[in-house]
Homo-oligomer: A and B are copies of this chain.
Amino acid sequence: MNSPKNTVTSKDVAKLAGVSQSTVSRVFIPGSSVSEKTKQKVFEAAKALNYRPNAFARSLTTNESRLIGLVFPDADYPIHMKTLQLISSELQKQGYSTVLIPWQVDEKDNHSIPNIFQYRVDGVIAASATFNKTLYEECEEFNIPVVQYARVVEGTRSSYVISDNYEAGQQAAQLLHKTGVTSAVYLTGEVPTFTNVERKNGFIAEFEELAGQTPRVVEASYDYTSSLDTIRELLQTSQRPEAVFCATDNLAMAVMDVARLECGLDIPDDLQVIGFDNIPQTEWLSYQLTTFRQDFKRLARESVKIIVDQICNQNSSLVKMMVPVKLIERKTTKV
């Protein structure tokens, strides 16, 4: 059953290098006092034997795992892959490894959580649309710091770093008002996430302020296909808006498709469209969508910085950070 694996221990290295086991251990702990000469001897022996310190044994004594649990989204929303990549390599730079916490909404099977806490993660980064309160409470119970990435779940009291969605909403309103729009719609998905609500609020407040009109809010779905009917209704009514600001690029593209292919509308002349996320498809020839880019790299870096700080400093306080977004003007809005 037990495969041989790499069974080289610090004792083996010690023997080969002619030093004690504790000395070998010290060599691999940054900042320990070891003479340059023995350090070299040990390194050589370690390399010869292909020695790797056993992280489990280390964790057992130090009481820190240098493992971060990552809660990730279940949707295959295109943006998320990069997120994982960014967070994981940022974490690695700080000496942490990433262990996945797969989180199924639909399954009631609670076994999923306990499992992962057997590994004593030092902290949790929640980059998930489905991170929920149960997991959050588990973390609290075990006194594990958590930071939410790019979103914040209602009812949780953890650190988070998100894009400045309110400001994004304002910018969208400004852009549309500048081009003379007087009637606008905010098209949203079915679940009112905090970030999405913020964006809506910014949009509405700013548009009211500038244009003296309150944008209508229309609820569709976050899924392209299941939004189509709502969009058809939205566009065919006699009170069709001059512009629609969408909660996601997917939604915006659904609007474009229906507008052009089914209603024969011209974009941006008959209808202006703004998305959110800047997924790869936004720059395709068929779309050229005006949208907002979130600075995921910065979000990743900041959330890692926060979690590490939270781990190292016992009583560092919660931090809530807003990162600015970038408006990318393409061909679906007037200039």
Which residues does chain B contribute within 8 Å of A283, judged by CB atoms?
225
A100 to B127, CA, bound (A): 15
Which residues does chain B contribute within 8 Å of A120, judged by CB atoms?
5-6, 54-56
Closest CB in chain B relative to A221 CB, distance in Å = 13
Closest to A138 in B: B50
Q: Of the listed stretches A11-19, A69-77, A209-217, A233-241, name the one at the interface; the rest are far from the partner chain.
A: A69-77
> Interface readout for A114-130 with B: 1 if CB under 8 Å, 0 if not?
11111110000000000
A197 CB–B CB distance under 8 Å: no
Across the interface, do B56 and A84 meet the contact criterion of CB distance under 8 Å?
Answer: no
Across the interface, do A88 and B100 meet the contact criterion of CB distance under 8 Å?
Answer: yes
Closest to A5 in B: B143
User: What are 20 A-B interface contacts by the 8 Å CB criterion?
Assistant: A1-B64, A2-B64, A50-B141, A50-B142, A52-B117, A52-B118, A53-B118, A56-B56, A72-B84, A72-B85, A73-B81, A76-B80, A78-B81, A85-B102, A89-B104, A97-B115, A254-B284, A257-B285, A258-B285, A286-B286
Q: Which of A72-109 contact B (CB under 8 A)?
A: 72-82, 84-85, 88-89, 92, 95, 97-100, 102, 104
Closest CB in chain B relative to A109 CB, distance in Å = 9
Across the interface, do B119 and A97 meet the contact criterion of CB distance under 8 Å?
Answer: yes
| Contact A2-B63, Cβ < 8 Å, known A74-B85, A104-B89 | yes
Quick one: which of B65, B112, B224 contacts A56, CB cutoff 8 A? Answer: B65
Across the interface, do A1 and B56 meet the contact criterion of CB distance under 8 Å?
Answer: no
Closest to A118 in B: B55
| Contact A143-B6, Cβ < 8 Å, known A284-B224, A285-B257 | yes
A4 CB–B CB distance under 8 Å: yes
Q: Which of A246-295 contact B (CB under 8 A)?
A: 250, 253-254, 257-258, 261-262, 280-281, 283-286
Residues of A within 8 Å of B, CB-based: how many?
Answer: 77
When all copies of this chain in the complex are counted, the total is: 2
Which residues does chain B contribute within 8 Å of A58, judged by CB atoms?
118
Q: Which of A1-32 contact B (CB under 8 A)?
A: 1-7
Closest CB in chain B relative to A48 CB, distance in Å = 13
A176 CB–B CB distance under 8 Å: no
A56 to B280, CA, bound (A): 42
| Contact A144-B72, Cβ < 8 Å, known A81-B77, A258-B285 | no
Closest CB in chain B relative to A287 CB, distance in Å = 8
A57 CB–B CB distance under 8 Å: yes
A52 to B79, CA, bound (A): 35
Which residues does chain B contribute within 8 Å of A280, judged by CB atoms?
76, 224, 250
| Contact A56-B60, Cβ < 8 Å, known A82-B76, A115-B92 | yes
